[in-house]
Each structure stands twice: as structure tokens, then as C-alpha cells.
Amino acid sequence: LSTAPAHMLLAGILLKMGGYALLRMNAGMLPDAHATFAPLLVILGVVNIVYAALTSFAQRNLKRKIAYSSISHMGFVLIGIASFTDLGTSGAMLQMISHGLIGASLFFMVGCTYDRTHTLMLDEMGGVGKKMRKVFAMWTACSMASLALPGMSGFVAELMIFVGFATSDAYNPVFKVCVIFLAAVGVILTPIYLLSMLREIFYGPENKQLVEHEELVDAEPREVFIIAALLVPIIGIGLYPKMLTQVYDATTSQLTAKLRASVPSLVAKAADKTVALRAPAIESSKF
């Protein structure tokens, strides 16, 4: 019995409950505590991205490789939540929605592949792209979405988080540079392990034992429809992200303003800015 539906629910919905709780409960209900522990959240996010990417790179089991890849991408959500910017918080929300679609599609493809090969070990695969061309095309499209190809939702979400954190005035420049550099390492590792995974499954000489003992039929219309139903919103969000961000931007802006009011340095900067803006008005009123 394939466990793909259960993994699709885990990656697509349950994994996002932690990120939602951080936004709705930690940041929404305890803004002062969130402001205190935000730097730790950023550090955990960076560790999450790099460590899980390296772990995924080392996996020989297909399902475990996708699972660790899924965990790695959730690290961007932590950085976005702790950015104290409208763009970063909005990017964290978009990353959760985007990754829900991408993670579900990848685990569905794992299930499709296992139903045909009856193995999850990459060492036992190879060259199956010759007989399963539609599966190969769907795997490639889902992998491109996962590695944040421009034009797909993952690229927009990660770019928003990067720019949101880079423009944040809540952290000193050295800390921001270190975080962005390490997160970029995770972004670079993602295409390496995903493209090498595709190479091991579909390229190269066929595994004669696998081809002889298993019926490697191509994707059925039902499977093509399921992947298309997931890829359409992924590409749609990537081309026009405002379609989704406008739904929650008002809420994330209110949340960010509430969080910024809990950071003493940001409150002081806001007060100085207000005084500077009022000074010319006061001077002109004297005349």
C-alpha cells in the first residue's frame, strides 16, 4: 500500500501548522517575547536550511531525500517571520503556501515512482526515463519548482524573504550578511541534490534487473491531472504573486507593525523619524 497520500498531507498541510502557530500565536499573542527571541529564530532557520540540505544530499532513499528537502525549505519561513518587515512576513506566508503545493507534488511523484519500480533506493534505479517519459517530465517540472526556478512560486517566496530580511533595520549589517550568505548556500545546494536525483533515476543505462522484473508503465491520465492541478497554481503564483498576497497583506502588515512596536531600537528610530518630520512643520508654522 502506497503511503503517498499521507505524505502529501504531512508535507502540504501539517508541516505548515508550526509556521502558522509562530505567526498567529508567538508573534500575534506574545510580540515582546517574539522580539526577544527573533535572532535565535533566524539562526535556527539558517541551520535548518543548510543542515537539512546537506542531509538530503547524502540520502540514498528517495522518500527521505524529498522529506529532508521539504524541511530545508521551511527554514526560509523562520527567517521571514523574524525579519520585522512587511515583505519578509508576507514572503513567509507565501513560502508556506507555495511549499505546500510543491511538497505535495514531489511526494505524489515518489508514490508514482514506487508503484512502478517497487523500490525507493536510488542505487537500484537508473535509465527509467526511456520507458516513463511522462513521469520523467512531471518529475522535472516538480523539481524545478522546488529549486525555485524563476516563474514558479518558490522563487517569488524565497526572493521576498531574502529582500525582506536584507532590508530589515532590526539587525546589524554583519549579522544580516552572514545569514544571507548561509541561506544562499542552502539555495545553491538545492539544485545540486535535486538534479543529481533526477540523473540517478532517469538517466544513464537501464538497470536490467529492474526492467526485467517490473512493469515500467508511463503515467496515467489520472496522475497527469493531479500533477497539473498542483502545477497550475504553482506557476500562476510565480507569474502573478499578488493574486495570493493581496488576500493576507493587510493582516501581515498589522502583525509586522505590532512586532516592530516591541523592539526598543525600532521604536526609537520611529520616534526620531517622527520628530525629524515634524520639525520642518513646526518651523514653518512660526512664520
Helix axis angle, 221-239 to 86-117, nearest 10°: 160
Q: What angle do CA 186, 189, 191 make, to 5 degrees?
A: 120
Are 166 and 180 a contacting pair, CB within 8 Å? yes
Q: Which residue has cell 514653518?
A: 284
By 3-state DSSP, what share of the chain in percent is helix, strand and coil, each rounded to 5? 85, 0, 15
Quick one: pLDDT at residue 7? 86
CA neighbor of 112 nearest in space, from 234, 225, 232: 225
Quick one: pLDDT at residue 238? 95
- What amino acid occupies position 144? M
The residues with which 61 forms a beta bridge, in sequence order, are 121
| Predicted structure pTM score | 0.89
Q: How many helices (H) and strands (E) does the chain have?
A: 13, 0
Quick one: pLDDT at residue 208? 79
Establish how many alpha carbons lie within 13 A of residue 282's alpha carbon, considering only the half-sphere containing its beta carbon. 6
Quick one: pLDDT at residue 1? 42
Are 160 and 94 a contacting pair, CB within 8 Å? yes
Q: Digits of tens for pLDDT over the chain (287 positions)?
A: 458 888 888 888 888 888 989 998 889 899 999 999 999 999 999 999 999 999 999 999 999 999 999 999 999 999 999 999 999 999 999 999 999 999 999 999 999 998 888 888 988 888 888 888 999 999 999 999 999 999 999 999 999 999 999 999 989 999 999 999 999 999 999 999 999 999 999 988 888 778 776 778 888 899 999 999 999 999 999 999 999 999 999 999 999 999 999 888 777 776 766 666 665 655 555 55
In sign, the C-alpha dihedral spanning 214, 218, 223, 228 is positive
Render 120-187 in DSSP notation, one character per residue: -BGGG--SGGGT-HHHHHHHHHHHHHHTT-TTSHHHHHHHHHHHHHHT-SSS-HHHHHHHHHHHHHHH
Are 252 and 86 a contacting pair, CB within 8 Å? yes
Are 124 and 200 a contacting pair, CB within 8 Å? no
Quick one: pLDDT at residue 38? 93
